[in-house]
């Protein structure tokens, strides 16, 4: 006759662990949704816990503070934006890639205005993404800028492109272009003029 588990170890209690009611990935997903719907100020541990369906103290077992929560969300957003921009800039032609990555950047901003605003917002040190995430997020635009204007000024060129594109998209999202005209054409015009300015081959 086969021995049962209890007969083999009669003094041991066998307890099946309670399944986790949430995960870090789910917490970040919910936090991202709150950010997009209601802005960074609405992103609190209590709000996330309510949506996830756990008590706030349970959330702290996976995320130590609101600052860490914000950092995780911003890093998630930065990685997503970097992936989109990187996939757009793959032709090998730096002028074409510059236009493609700028359009990917713009499309991301329109599709994710809350996340777009948050990633460029002023954050406390504890909520800022780590340098590795920032470096990864910048790779495509730095590489394109280096091919277009030369490696000696890649960082300056990349900052020029990002600053212009961010300003343009932010104005669009704020409804600030109120003088008429074709805004899409204006965006292309701006990118082409930037490419002309940065393109060392045209000098």
122 part of a folded domain: yes
14 part of a folded domain: no
Residue pair 98/191 in contact (Cβ under 8 Å)? The answer is yes
Range of the domain at 56: 21-64
Residues 142 and 178 grouped into a single domain: yes
Residues above pLDDT 90, as percent of the chain: 75
192 part of a folded domain: yes
pLDDT tens by residue, 36-56: 999 999 999 999 999 999 988
pLDDT at 9 over 50: no
Residues 116 and 187 grouped into a single domain: yes
Residues 187 and 134 grouped into a single domain: yes
DSSP H stretches of helix in 94-182: 94-111, 113-119, 131-149, 154-173
Please report, for the domain that includes residue 105, its CATH number.
1.10.357.10
Mean pLDDT calculated for residue range 154-176:
96
| φ, ψ dihedrals at 98, nearest 5° | -60, -45
Please report, for the domain that includes residue 42, its CATH number.
1.10.10.60
Question: What is the pLDDT, as a whole number, of residue 56?
Answer: 84
**Residue from 80, 70, 75 nearest 112 by CA:** 80
69 part of a folded domain: no
44 part of a folded domain: yes
179 part of a folded domain: yes
Residues 59 and 84 grouped into a single domain: no
Residues 55 and 83 grouped into a single domain: no
Burial class, 24, CB count within 10 angstroms (exposed 0-12 / middle 13-18 / buried 19+): exposed
Last residue of a domain, one of 39, 64, 89: 64
The span from the CA of 110 to the CA of 98, in Å, is: 18
| φ, ψ dihedrals at 106, nearest 5° | -65, -45
Residue pair 99/149 in contact (Cβ under 8 Å)? The answer is no
- Number of independent structural domains in the chain: 2
Tell me which H or E stretch contains 64.
Answer: none
pLDDT at 32 over 70: yes
Contacts by 7-12 with C-beta closer than 8 Å and gap 24+?
A: none
6 part of a folded domain: no
46 part of a folded domain: yes
Mean pLDDT calculated for residue range 89-116:
94
Angle at 71 between CA 107 and CA 78, to 5 degrees: 25
Burial class, 40, CB count within 10 angstroms (exposed 0-12 / middle 13-18 / buried 19+): middle
pLDDT at 19 over 90: no
């Amino acid at each position: 006759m086969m021995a049962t588990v209890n007969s083999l170890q009669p003094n041991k209690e066998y307890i099946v662990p309670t399944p986790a009611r949430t995960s870090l990935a789910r917490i970040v997903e919910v936090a991202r949704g709150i950010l997009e719907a209601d802005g960074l100020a609405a992103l609190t541990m209590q709000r996330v816990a309510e949506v996830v369906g756990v008590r706030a103290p349970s959330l702290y077992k996976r995320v130590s503070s609101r600052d860490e929560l914000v950092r995780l969300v911003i890093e998630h957003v930065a990685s997503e934006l970097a992936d989109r921009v990187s996939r757009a800039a793959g032709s090998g032609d730096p002028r074409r890639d510059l236009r493609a990555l700028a359009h990917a950047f713009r499309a991301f901003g329109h599709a994710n205005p809350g996340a777009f605003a948050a990633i460029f917002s002023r954050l406390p040190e504890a909520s800022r993404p780590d340098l590795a995430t920032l470096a990864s997020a910048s790779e495509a635009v730095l590489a394109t800028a280096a091919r277009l204007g030369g490696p000696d000024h890649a960082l300056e060129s990349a900052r020029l492109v990002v600053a212009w594109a961010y300003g343009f998209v932010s104005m669009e999202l704020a409804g600030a272009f109120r003088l008429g005209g074709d805004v899409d054409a204006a965006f292309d015009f701006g990118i082409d003029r930037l490419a002309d300015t940065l393109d060392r081959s045209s000098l």
